[in-house]
Structure 1
Amino acid sequence: MKIEEEIKQTAFRNEYHKAYINLLYTSNFLQQEHGSMLKPFGITSPQFNVLRILRGQYPKPATVSLLIERMLDKTSNASRIVDKLEAKELVTRKQCPNDRRTVDVLITEKGLDLLKQLDALDNDNKSGGIYNLTEDETRELNRMLDKIRD
């Protein structure tokens, strides 16, 4: 559905304004879909992001500062997210043996198993509407989004 129909607005200042509104709307749409997919598993999008970062580091631990650096949402409170994941036994936290001021965060087997389930679900559902694009269109979209951030 076109952005004009989605937000019931027929006029925009120009195509740049329309594209900007379209990006914001689509971003929120994708975030809501992603949140709905994660809800039955009892985790949020920022928690999922932290788990993915830790899986990428595995078997090496990560520090909270590394998590903050690599998170998609820079406004998230990584320490609080790690607290919640630790309470769910999806990560462990230990004081770094080399630097007592630093805490090492490591994904658990339970966390790795959860990510495997979510990977399978994503592969089965082809969620997020992104699969409505061809591979070439997706490549072009990635190029344009990178250009916007440059």
Structure 2
Amino acid sequence: MGIKKILKINANLPISKEVVISIIHTTCLVNSKLNDVLKPYGVSLQQFNVLRILRGQNQNPVTLSTVQERMIAKMSNTTRLVDKLAKKGYVEKKINKDNRRKIDISITNEGLLFLEEISKLIDSTEKDIISSLTKDEAYNMIRLLDKIRLIANK
């Protein structure tokens, strides 16, 4: 169903507006579906993203700024996300040896086990979300979104 029908828009929209509204609406739907999967585990999509970033460091600690720059959705409350994960025992924070003003963050073994468990659910949900697309359509969507991001990042 088209975005104009979903949102009950009767007016003719410029194509640019229809595309942007469609992207935003779809992003919200995808985020909602992924958050629904994570909700029973007490983590948000952003916390899940932090855990994946830390897992990718292969047990090497990173600073908060490194986590922030690698986040899918850039936000200012990364400190709070990390604090919540630390309270759950999924990440560990230590003062940086070279610069005492910085905090090193690393994923714990408990965090790795937790991530392994919920990653399977997220992977399955992601596959379900794009199940109506052929492989070629999925690659084409990636290519088209890459083109839009090039302009949007300027």
1:101/1:76 CA distance change after superposition, 3 Å: closer
Question: Unaligned stretches of 5+ in structure 1?
Answer: none
Question: Unaligned stretches of 5+ in structure 2?
Answer: none
1:3/1:141 CA distance change after superposition, 3 Å: same
Residue 19 of structure 1 aligns with an amino acid whose one-letter code is V
- Structure 2 distance, partners of 1:128, 1:32, is 14
- The range that moved more, 118-127 or 17-26, is 118-127
CA shift, 1:122, in A, is 2.9
Q: Does 1:95 align with 2:90?
A: no
In the superposition, the TM-score normalised over structure 2's length comes to 0.90
Residue 114 of structure 1 aligns with an amino acid whose one-letter code is F
In the superposition, the TM-score normalised over structure 1's length comes to 0.92
Secondary structure of 1:57's match?
coil
Partner of 1:56: 56
- The range that moved more, 46-55 or 128-137, is 128-137
After superposition, the C-alpha distances for 1:69-94 in whole angstroms (9 at most, x for unaligned) are 11112124111111100000010011
- The range that moved more, 71-80 or 25-34, is 71-80
- Structure 2 distance, partners of 1:30, 1:103, is 32
2:90 touches 2:107 (CA, 8 Å); kept in 1?
Answer: yes
Partner of 1:118: 118
After superposition, the C-alpha distances for 1:105-138 in whole angstroms (9 at most, x for unaligned) are 0101111111111222234445562222111111
1:69/1:125 CA distance change after superposition, 3 Å: closer
2:34 touches 2:122 (CA, 8 Å); kept in 1?
Answer: no
- Structure 2 distance, partners of 1:148, 1:102, is 35
